[in-house]
Amino acid sequence: DAGVHSKAWYAATCDRKTAEDALYRSNKDGSFLVRKSSGQDSRQPYTLVVFYNRRVYNIPIRFIESTRQYALGREKTGEERFDSVAEIVENHQHTSLVLIDSQNNTKDSTKLKHIVRVS
């Protein structure tokens, strides 16, 4: 279990557009939620959606079968791995999360500060 089901930041049935709209409405840097990934792939079960600098980032949360752990984004050497999605969120409430804009090739970073609930 990823530890998401009882969490205020988990928007179970929320699709990408609904999540993005909710974050744009919040309009606060560091606003976030976790939703099920659109593809419903077992290797990428969830998506962390973060608002920063008037933009919304959809960051895939990968499930690593071999270690039964979770990691953010594309696989990279020396990446941080966590035992649950809840641990990822708790970690990035205290340490900055790097946001990569692949279109403009820029990097930003923010902490997860404001839980956004999708009504």
pLDDT of residue 5: 87
CA dihedral 21, 26, 29, 32 (to 10 degrees): -60
CATH class of the structural domain 16-115? alpha beta
* Residue listed under structure tokens 């205290």: 94
Looking at residue 31, what is its pLDDT?
A: 98
pLDDT tens-digit series, residues 53-77: 999 999 999 999 999 999 999 898 9
- Judged against a pLDDT cut of 90, whether residue 85 lies above it is answered with yes
Contacts 24+ apart (CB under 8 A), 26-29: 26/51, 26/114, 26/116, 27/51, 27/54, 28/113, 28/114, 29/53, 29/110, 29/113
Domain coordinates in residue numbering, the chain: 16-115
